[in-house]
Amino acid sequence: PVKQIIVITPTYNRALQAYFLNRIGHVLRLVKPPLLWIVVEMNAASTETADILRKSGAVYRHLVCKKNMTNVKDRGVHQRNTALEHIELHRLDGIVYFADDDNIYSMELFENLRQISRFGTWPIAMLAPFKNKAILEGPVCNGSQVTGWHTNEKSKRLRRFHVDMSGFAFNSTILWDPKRWRRPTRDPIRQLDTVKEGFQETTFIEQLVEDESQMEVVPPTCSRIINWHLHLDAQGLYYPKGLHTIIHVRCI
């Protein structure tokens, strides 16, 4: 049987939200089924998001995270946990992938996910506004073996695995099989929101795998960029009240 892909997307209201959700929705509807898109909002499900999801043509679940955000740096973290709890509660079987709403994804990426048996990773390119360069983050490979990491110097010595949130995927069965977690006594779900910003990925991944030898690279993903992480923060963007555009129907 074809493996299901479970895509987790936290989302929140800002000027380009509708554009971002439509864009990722259009990609996901083209991916061969079975694919489940779990979209999570904070506090309440907005009618605008519900509308976009309904029209996307993708198979989705629209969830709400009620937890109080204690730290503004917890960007999307509680929402991802809500989705993980949902997957665990309903024993949803598939390859889990965290896809932020604002990144750029290729079809190739989603097709490759089905080849992962336990844990897969690949390099992603990051583009920061006003910086005139793209930075790579993720594995350096020899064939399907991980032999090192692309990273930016600042965090080189601190993080165990230099993987972006949208640069890895794993089999959901790991979530309900405590024996398969590296540290079974720790609660893997809570873990995501108790660690410092920037360390969420590595802390999470350290519970899934012992070391690089347990990581799968789906060839030829190591020599191709199959997704981009864009840091496009439109949170503080002035948005004229009452102006309805085709890409966004809400006022902030």
**Residues within the annotated binding site for Mn(2+)?**
102
Tell me the closest approach of the beta carbon of residue 79 to ligand UDP, in angstroms: 5
Closest distance of CB 69 from ligand UDP, Å: 7
Tell me if 216 contacts ligand UDP by CB under 6 A. no
Residue sitting closest to ligand UDP (CB) = 76
**Under the criterion CB under 6 A, does residue 76 sit at the interface with ligand UDP?**
yes
Helices (H), the chain: 17-30, 47-56, 77-89, 107-113, 188-191, 200-206
Residue 41: CA atoms inside 13 Å, Cβ hemisphere, count?
16
Tell me, yes or no, if 88 is annotated catalytic. Answer: no
Nearest alpha carbon to residue 207 among 119, 143, 81:
119
**What count of residues does the chain have?**
252
Give the start-end residues of each E strand in 80-208. 95-98, 104-105, 119-121, 124-127, 134-142, 145-150, 168-171
Q: What are phi and psi of 168, to 5 degrees?
A: -150, 160
Of the ranges 6-14, 107-115, 169-177, 238-246, which one interacts with ligand UDP (CB under 6 A)? Answer: 6-14
- Per-residue binder mask for ligand UDP (CB under 6 A), 9-48, x = binder: xxxx------------------------------------
Task: Choose the catalytic residue: 201, 206, 210, 216.
Answer: 201
Q: Which residues sit at the interface with ligand UDP, rule CB under 6 A?
A: 9-12, 75-76, 79, 100-102, 231, 233
